[in-house]
């Protein structure tokens, strides 16, 4: 490999990324055979850049946990199998017992995604048990700090104060001592979602069910515990949420769309929620009364439930966001490409260039990956392989080549993960 001289960067242009967030309490169920509706795969023009998937109550029996420690859990494997052919890469994941958080990004964004930290915060059994709590992925996306939190808060109508207390505790525990990472409240964006378990106060079961039947959801909003808390809690007030225009997502009889018919007949509630918080914007100029042009802004495109899935007593909830940003980092730290014709008979050479401040390490490596592209994104004439440069110091992929072909007769060794490594 031959390194070229450092290169200059250019002024970045604003861009819009589409982020799709999924939250679902799966009640120990295995993945259904088809999740096309949940992942929006049934849409003709799937124009997403990032998938953020949070599950609660995954099977966390001892046999399942031991198996998942040695191998990918069934849900992670399912999402990888479905999303990989669409050019998505699992960039990071974190699990705490039944809580799972996954972050997928389109391959072209990988050089601009840096995973800074993953964290688990148990709040069950006085903070010692992870059946409740939160898991967090902290990352930099095009230079902006983003924290993603998937949580499972205490259940039952009477435990509203405890839910708020756990919300605060999870937030307080997202510190990054000894790391050059700002406090979570100084991050540009917090995405917070999960089975928050907030209920509908005061109204009786009959009134709630009749309101749902007649789609008078607004009649129930004023007694929704989370909506009430957001009006009074100074910190929660900074989190935004889309309108609840879908039926309450809990509690259903499994394998049906009927609300709880057991002896307990639990009152329906919007337990599964997706919130977000943007860092406070700069104040307006006192002379012009104009705000600076925003360089980072999140807008909600959709906030819906998916009633067709019945494997759990909860329905999944999704949000689609448009993230408008002016990249603080617009040039990949590494640009690399294959040199000459790659065949078994020739030596395989790679050239690369780097930005002046790139912290290279002798432990960096370059991998060759066989990929399958969605032809709507990349012309069919493009190649089937990518070169990726992994930075040991940054713990992330910092450079990706353009797709290219390897001529027939070349030899690639398949590793157990399905990733290909060249014999050089």
Amino acid 424: pLDDT: 29
Least confident range of 222-236, 245-259, 275-289: 275-289
State the chain's mean pLDDT as an integer: 86
Cβ atoms of 59 and 89 closer than 8 Å: no
Beta pairing, strands 144-152 & 296-305: unpaired
Q: What is the spatial distance between Cα 197 and Cα 210, in angstroms, rounded to a whole number?
A: 21
- CA-based Rg of the chain, rounded to a whole angstrom? 23
**Domain 332-422, what architecture?**
Sandwich (2.60)
Show me where the domains of the chain are located.
Answer: 15-325, 332-422
Percent of the chain residues topping a pLDDT of 70:
81
pLDDT per position as a tens digit, 393-416: 888 899 998 888 877 654 444 433
Class of domain 15-325: alpha beta
pLDDT per position as a tens digit, 54-91: 999 998 665 555 554 555 899 999 999 999 999 899 99
Cβ atoms of 181 and 138 closer than 8 Å: yes
Which token pair is 345?
A: 């008979």
Cβ atoms of 302 and 321 closer than 8 Å: no
Cβ atoms of 191 and 149 closer than 8 Å: yes
pTM beyond 0.95:
no
187 band by pLDDT with thresholds 50, 70 and 90: very high
């Amino acid at each position: 490999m031959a390194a070229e001289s450092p290169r200059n960067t250019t002024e970045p242009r604003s861009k819009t990324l589409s982020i799709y967030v999924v939250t679902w309490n799966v009640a120990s169920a295995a993945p259904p055979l088809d999740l096309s509706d949940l992942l929006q795969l049934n849409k003709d023009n799937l124009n997403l850049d990032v998938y953020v998937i949070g599950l609660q109550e995954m099977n966390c029996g001892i046999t399942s946990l031991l198996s998942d420690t040695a191998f990918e859990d069934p849900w992670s494997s399912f999402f990888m199998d479905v999303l990989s052919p669409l050019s998505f890469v699992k960039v990071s994941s974190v699990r705490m017992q039944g809580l799972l958080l996954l972050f997928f990004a389109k391959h072209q964004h990988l050089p601009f995604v840096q995973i800074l930290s993953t964290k688990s915060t148990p709040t069950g059994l006085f903070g010692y048990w992870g059946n409740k709590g939160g898991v967090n992925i902290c990352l930099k996306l095009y230079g902006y700090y983003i924290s993603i939190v998937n949580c499972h808060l205490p259940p039952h109508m009477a435990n509203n104060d405890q839910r708020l207390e756990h919300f605060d505790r999870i937030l307080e525990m997202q510190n990054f001592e000894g790391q050059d990472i700002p406090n979570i409240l100084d991050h540009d964006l917090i995405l917070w979602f999960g089975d928050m378990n907030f209920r509908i106060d005061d109204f009786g079961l009959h009134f709630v069910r009749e309101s749902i039947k007649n789609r008078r959801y607004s009649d129930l909003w004023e007694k929704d515990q989370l909506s009430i808390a957001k009006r009074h809690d100074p910190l929660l007030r900074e989190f935004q949420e889309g309108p609840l225009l879908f039926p309450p997502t809990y509690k259903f009889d499994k394998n049906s769309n009927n609300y709880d018919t057991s002896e307990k007949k639990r009152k329906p509630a919007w337990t599964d929620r997706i919130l977000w918080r943007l860092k406070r914007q700069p104040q307006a100029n006192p002379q012009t009364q104009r705000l600076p042009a925003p360089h980072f802004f999140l807008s909600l495109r959709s906030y819906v439930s998916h009633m067709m899935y019945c494997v759990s007593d909860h329905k999944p909830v999704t949000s689609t966001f448009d993230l408008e940003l002016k990249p603080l980092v617009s040039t990949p730290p590494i640009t690399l490409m294959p040199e000459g014709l790659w065949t078994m008979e020739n030596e395989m050479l790679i050239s690369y260039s780097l930005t002046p401040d790139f912290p290279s390490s002798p432990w960096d490596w370059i991998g060759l990956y066989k990929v399958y592209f969605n032809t709507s994104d990349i012309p069919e004439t493009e190649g089937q392989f990518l070169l990726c440069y992994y930075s040991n110091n940054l713990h992330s992929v910092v450079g990706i080549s353009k797709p290219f072909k390897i001529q027939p007769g070349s030899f690639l060794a398949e590793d157990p993960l399905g990733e290909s490594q060249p014999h050089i």
